[in-house]
Amino acid sequence: MTLPPLDWQKGDGLLPAIIQDADTQQVLMLGYMNAAALEQTLATKRVTFFSRSKNRLWTKGESSGHFLDLVSVEGDCDNDTLLVRARPNGPTCHRGTCSCFGEGGGATGTGFLAQLERTVNQRIASGDEKSYTAKLVREGTKRVAQKVGEEGVETALAATAGDNAELANEAADLLFHLIVLLRVKGLSLQDALNVLEKRHAGKK
């Protein structure tokens, strides 16, 4: 990662670092980095801060195990604030929530799809016999693909019937089963989004 010259002097050697979930786009926390913390973050690929209370470098998760795996770092327009995109391994906040901002701690809007995909992955990995997701995956790719087809037909029927509430329900079922199918085939929503982004770029 190549960063422009950062203005370390403005904050007496510290820059605020906004931590954002790389998948859901949710803001997770705010910390502070000095040059050594940024260097260690880039070297280890785990987000490290300068703790003002401990007066030392502090890697998020060093006690809890809830590390933040680095995806990218960039500076703002004034080069005095960092935007750090990372993937969390467990709750970010010490209160046990995903984010330090707000009690809900959940992503909203399109970011929720990434959070749902993460949950689907966890359910599949758990092999929990009570989990619908895990049970469906055990039935094989053909059954998962069949469910996507069924939900697609039901979505189209709801649309032609003019029932918008039912259309929303069926579209939700379709999105869920599509996420499961992609996961079974070793793909993710991001793979589909990458295709859309390339198509969009090609039309400019």
**d(C-alpha 175, C-alpha 179), whole Å:** 6
**d(C-alpha 158, C-alpha 147), whole Å:** 16
Dihedral (C-alpha) 82, 88, 90, 96: value to the nearest 10 degrees?
20
Is the pTM here over 0.85, yes or no? no
Q: Which of 14-18, 91-95, 146-150 has the lowest average pLDDT?
A: 91-95
The CA-atom distances, in angstroms, between 32 and each of 47, 59, 125 are: 11, 11, 35
The CA-atom distances, in angstroms, between 154 and each of 69, 104, 157 are: 40, 32, 5
**pLDDT tens per residue across span 59-103:** 999 999 999 999 999 999 999 999 999 999 988 998 888 899 876
Q: Are 139 and 124 in contact (CB under 8 A)?
A: no
% of the chain beyond a pLDDT of 90 = 78
Strands 27-33 and 48-51, sheet pairing: unpaired
Domains in the chain with CATH codes = 9-88 (3.10.20.810), 111-202 (1.10.287.1080)
% of the chain beyond a pLDDT of 70 = 97
Average pLDDT over residues 189-197: 92
Please tell me which of 19-33, 82-96, 166-180 the model is most confident about, judged by mean pLDDT: 166-180
**pLDDT tens per residue across span 104-131:** 556 777 788 988 998 999 999 998 889 9
pLDDT given for residue 71 in this prediction: 96
